[in-house]
């Protein structure tokens, strides 16, 4: 799949943030195609590369023996020249509370689609703002990956919250074999489950988050089937709550929320429940946040994939565009009057 052709991408396209960087670098590593990304985060208040983006790029580069030009804070363009992905066991420290789940969105495709396996210990943030919580990743994302044929296992050894971080996650990624296309258009949504956790705080914090979420769902006519609270290890205080409805063959929908200083626990629970209710009643099989995470794998399946997503986000359209540039796949988004959409991806 290697090529000497250099792909040039405009980093301000679509969502114009870290997503286009992570997906481009991951697919560059898989396809062994050099990529140049310009206008990095040009529309943002603090344009250019930030530390968390540099951490992700360095991680992928270390896995595939890549060379990277202009990798520095504030850089508005970089060149990534991938080598061959190697099976390895490494330790990656993102720094402070940099999101581990955002890093995994790039690492898992780049390793598994390269037909190698890796074991990693990643240090950073497990439950931080503007990224999926670790519970969302393990309970929603990984089951969807398994349906495709992607085998990745995570063990959370310690939680990491903003701003200190210090979370530790062990990751085992197996090489992918033949990937199965998705056909997730209609299914009966099982009753949801709730997980509410806290660290370095009284268990009552997790219980209050849980109660508020359950009360909100009850008002919407939704009754959770399983609910659990717990206190987990961390080096700084924090909390999160996840509500999810997942079946072996779909749906894969979830919603989470993060506790913050000065934010009442009840607000955290209601925030997650409100978002989950919107996803649940849409009758989509893929939630708005998961849709873009599936895209990097779909051009490598045997056949056409189709899935119903609750809402089309800029992250989804960006990833579809980037995947089509690298793999020449064809894609279509058929929007429904209710705001849901049928997304199809076909490898040509």
CATH of residue 18's domain is 3.30.110.150
48 plus 100 within the same structural domain: no
Does a structural domain hold residue 45? yes
Per-residue model confidence as pLDDT tens digits over 39-80? 999 888 889 998 888 888 998 999 999 999 999 999 999 999
Distance CA 59, CA 47 (A): 21
In a domain, 330, yes or no: no
Tokens of 115: 């037909």
Q: CA 112 to CA 108: how far, in whole Å?
A: 6
Query: Is the pLDDT reported for residue 1 higher than 80?
Result: no
Cα-Cα end-to-end distance for the chain: 14
**What number is the average pLDDT over the span 227-245?**
97
Q: Give a yes or no: residue 304 inside a domain.
A: no
Q: Which residues pair with 153 in a beta bridge?
A: 172
Once rounded to an integer, what is the mean pLDDT over residues 157-178? Answer: 95
Indicate whether 289 belongs to any domain: no
Residues 82 and 98 in one domain: no
DSSP secondary structure letter of residue 243:
E
Same-domain check for residues 40 and 98: no
Place of tokens 């310009």: 38
Alpha carbon distance 191, 247 (integer Å): 10
User: Is 129 contained in some domain?
Assistant: yes
- Residue 212's CB: how many other CB atoms inside 10 A? 22
Q: Are residues 3 and 79 in the same domain?
A: yes
77 with 103, same domain? no
Report the pLDDT value the prediction gives residue 4, as an integer from 0 to 100: 61
Task: Quote the number of domains for the chain.
Answer: 3
H helices of the chain, in order, are 18-31, 51-64, 100-112, 134-136, 142-148, 203-219, 265-281, 291-294, 314-327
Q: Of 281, 312, 329, which closes a domain? A: 281
Same domain, 17 and 54: yes
- Find the CATH number of the domain harbouring 247: 3.30.360.20
Active site (annotated) includes residue 315? yes
What mean pLDDT is predicted for residues 136-158?
97
Of 233, 260, 281, which residue constitutes the final position of a domain?
281
Q: What's the pLDDT at 207?
A: 98
User: Would you state the structure tokens that stand for residue 19, as one six-digit string?
Assistant: 């997503």
Prior bond of 251 cis (ω within 30°): yes
- What pLDDT was estimated at residue 289? 96
Residue 327 maps to a domain: no
Q: Work out the pLDDT band at 95, boundaries 50, 70, 90.
A: confident
Which residues constitute the domain of residue 208? 193-281
* Tokens, residue 121: 């210990």
**pLDDT value of residue 3:** 52
- The mean pLDDT of 140-150, rounded to a whole number, is 97
Residue 132 lies in a domain: yes
Nearest residue to 77 (alpha-carbon basis) of 53, 112, 60: 53
pLDDT in tens, 307-346: 999 999 999 999 999 999 999 999 999 999 999 999 999 9
Is 101 inside a domain boundary? Answer: yes
Note the pLDDT of residue 177: 86
Q: In what order do the strands lie in the sheet with 305-309?
A: 183-184, 305-309, 341-346, 330-335
Q: Do 44 and 10 sit in the same domain of this protein?
A: yes
Q: For residue 131, give every residue at least 6 positions away whose Cβ sits within 8 Å of its Cβ, in sequence order, or none.
A: 99, 101, 102, 125
Residues 109 and 78 in one domain: no
In 3-state terms, what secondary structure has residue 293?
helix
At which of 237, 261, 281 does a domain end?
A: 281
Same domain, 105 and 48: no
**Catalytic residue (one of 315, 319, 323, 345):** 315
* Residue 245: HSE in the Cβ half-sphere, 13 Å Cα cutoff: 28
Helix then strand then coil, % of the chain, to nearest 5: 35, 30, 40
- Average pLDDT of the segment spanning 297-301: 96
């Amino acid at each position: 799949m290697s090529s000497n052709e250099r792909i040039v991408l405009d980093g301000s396209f679509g969502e114009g943030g870290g997503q286009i960087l992570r997906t481009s670098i991951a697919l560059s590593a898989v396809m062994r195609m050099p990529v140049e990304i310009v206008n990095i985060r040009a529309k943002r208040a603090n344009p250019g590369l930030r530390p968390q983006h540099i951490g992700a790029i360095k991680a992928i580069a270390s896995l595939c023996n890549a060379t990277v030009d202009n990798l520095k804070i504030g850089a508005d363009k970089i060149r990534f020249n991938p080598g061959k992905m190697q099976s390895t066991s490494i330790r990656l420290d993102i720094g402070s509370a940099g999101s581990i789940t955002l890093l995994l969105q790039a690492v898992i495709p780049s390793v598994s689609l390269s037909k190698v396996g890796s074991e990693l210990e990643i240090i950073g943030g497990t439950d931080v703002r503007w990224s999926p919580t670790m519970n969302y990743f393990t309970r929603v994302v990984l089951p969807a990956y398994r349906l495709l044929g992607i085998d990745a296992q995570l063990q959370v050894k310690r939680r990491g919250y903003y701003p200190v971080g210090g979370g530790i996650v062990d990751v085992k990624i197996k090489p992918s074999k033949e990937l199965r296309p998705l056909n997730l258009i209609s299914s009966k949504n099982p009753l949801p489950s709730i997980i509410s956790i806290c660290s370095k705080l009284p268990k009552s914090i997790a219980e209050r988050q849980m109660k508020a979420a359950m009360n909100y769902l009850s008002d919407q006519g939704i009754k959770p089937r399983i609910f659990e609270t717990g206190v987990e290890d961390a080096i700084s205080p924090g909390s999160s709550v996840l509500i999810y409805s997942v079946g072996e063959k779909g749906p894969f929908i979830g919603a989470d929320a993060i506790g913050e200083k000065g934010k009442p626990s009840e607000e955290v629970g209601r925030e997650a429940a409100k978002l989950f209710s919107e996803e649940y009643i849409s009758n989509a099989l893929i939630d708005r946040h998961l849709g873009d995470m599936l895209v990097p794998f779909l051009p490598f399946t045997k056949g056409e994939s189709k899935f119903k997503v609750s809402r089309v986000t800029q992250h989804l359209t960006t990833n579809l565009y980037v995947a089509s540039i690298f793999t020449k796949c064809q894609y279509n988004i058929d929007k429904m009057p209710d705001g849901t959409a049928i997304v199809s991806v076909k490898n040509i």
